[in-house]
């Protein structure tokens, strides 16, 4: 972990209680309680210079060994001046899958959050336009959840076959 | 009572004449969604030269084409588009399912990929391969020409009995066949 990231994570844990920092291959991972998520992101963006939102993604730990929480929401931030990175993690459990949207901080969060919603069904409160982004709007499930079967529940065959006289 | 036929007159059946005209000027509609599309382009290009079989006029408008070549996997979002394009093509028309994915879904046995377009469209010719080589596609075009010559009629009678081959369907979804679901 670089000096800059060390200072940032130290300032972060001092300001927000309940945050835990760990290191993996030289990069910092911060586990954040959900009620601190938006303030933490705002602190990193506006006071610490982590100005680039690289990605928002999610992991379903349903069948993961020793996992205690169902979903892990992951925010990847980059400090563009020094190209240092930091990972923010929030854990979520059913039935309360709501997190505040990061769209007020980064416009880039708009489509990233729509993708997470599309695949995992996590709802971002305050998002301006939370619709499905990849799957058709009538799709009823969240296919990247581990309890969704790989071959689907018959959605791929839910079409009218065309006979010759219909065309 | 013998009828005198001059040397420069050819006697044939009208069906055979129409089929002969149709089979030698197939205008493909390339519905290319994946790597099969690259092989399709190679087939049309100079080395393999689809023009030798009269099928070099690729049209991206369904109104101007009469052979739809579905090259590549079709996902569930794309299938209504595919069906619409098929409906927009004028008769007579033929459909060729190129490659493992278009024919069966191939390795993409997931929730979003249609497991064979022949569940929802009438298919005339299947081309095996992943992706098929241009030679295989050429062979399929030759076979389709043969089929048109054998079966073709002026009035298009041969199209009347054509239906989606595995239309909903003997194959099970999630281990259940349509009969099992109907009984439930």
Q: Could A156 and B111 be called an inter-chain contact, meaning their C-beta atoms sit closer than 8 Å?
A: yes
ipTM above 0.85, yes or no: no
* Percent over 70 (pLDDT), chain A: 98
Nearest CB to B168; choose among A136, A151, A161: A161
Closest alpha carbon within chain B to A142: B111
DSSP state of A23: E
Q: Is residue B167 very low, low, confident or very high in pLDDT (cuts 50, 70, 90)?
A: very low
Residue A137 touches chain B, beta carbons under 8 Å: no
State the smallest CA–CA distance between residue B126 and chain A in angstroms.
18
Average pLDDT, chain B: 86
Q: What is the pLDDT of residues A70-94, one digit of tens each?
A: 999 999 999 999 889 999 999 999 8
* Complete domains list, chain A, with CATH: 3-166 (3.30.460.80)
Which of B89, B111, B163 lies closest to A164 in CB terms?
B163
CA B27 to chain centre: 11
Contact B119 A163 (CB under 8 A): no
Mean pLDDT of the residues in chain A: 89
Per-position DSSP letters for B29-73, written without gaps between them: EEEE-SHHHHHHHHHHSTTT-GGGGT-----SSGGG-SEEEEES-
- Label residues B161-172 b or e (16+ Cβ within 10 Å = b): ebbbbbbebeee
Distance, CA of A115 to CA of A91 (rounded, Å): 18
Question: For residues B57 and B152, is the Cβ–Cβ distance under 8 A?
Answer: no
Please provide the CATH number assigned to the domain covering B14-183: 3.40.50.12280
Domain extent listing, chain B: 14-183
Tens of pLDDT, residue by residue over A125-159, are 999 999 999 998 888 889 999 999 888 887 888 77
């Amino acid at each position: 972990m670089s000096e800059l990231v060390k200072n940032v994570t130290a300032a972060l844990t001092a300001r927000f209680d309940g945050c835990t920092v760990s290191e993996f291959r030289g990069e910092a991972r911060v586990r954040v309680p959900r009620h601190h998520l938006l303030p933490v992101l705002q602190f990193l963006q506006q006071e610490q210079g982590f100005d680039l939102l690289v990605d928002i993604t999610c992991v379903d730990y349903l069948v993961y060994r020793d996992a205690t929480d169902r979903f892990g929401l992951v925010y990847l931030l980059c400090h563009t001046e020094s190209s240092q990175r930091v990972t923010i993690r929030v854990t979520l459990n059913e039935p309360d899958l709501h997190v505040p949207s990061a769209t007020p901080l980064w416009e880039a969060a708009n489509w990233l959050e729509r993708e997470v919603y599309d695949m995992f069904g996590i709802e971002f409160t305050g998002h301006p336009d939370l619709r499905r982004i990849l799957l058709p709007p009538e799709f009823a499930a969240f296919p990247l959840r581990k309890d969704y079967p790989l071959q689907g529940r018959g959605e791929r065959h839910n079409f009218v076959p065309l006979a010759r006289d219909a065309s | 009572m013998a009828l005198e036929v001059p040397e420069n007159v050819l006697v044939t059946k009208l069906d055979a004449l129409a089929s002969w005209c149709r089979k030698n000027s197939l205008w493909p509609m390339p519905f290319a969604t994946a790597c099969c599309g690259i092989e399709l382009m190679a087939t049309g290009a100079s080395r393999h030269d689809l023009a030798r079989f009269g099928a070099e006029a690729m049209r991206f408008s369904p109104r101007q084409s009469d052979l739809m070549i579905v090259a590549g996997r079709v996902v569930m979002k794309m299938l209504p588009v595919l069906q619409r394009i098929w409906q927009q093509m004028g008769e007579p028309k033929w459909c060729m399912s190129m490659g493992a994915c278009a024919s069966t879904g191939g390795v993409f046995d997931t929730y979003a990929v249609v497991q064979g377009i022949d569940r929802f469209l009438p298919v005339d010719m299947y081309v095996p391969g992943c992706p098929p080589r241009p030679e295989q596609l050429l062979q399929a075009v030759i076979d389709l020409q043969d089929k048109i010559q054998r079966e073709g009629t002026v009035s298009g009678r041969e199209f009347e009995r054509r239906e989606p081959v595995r239309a909903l369907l003997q194959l099970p979804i999630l281990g259940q066949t349509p009969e099992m679901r109907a009984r439930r």
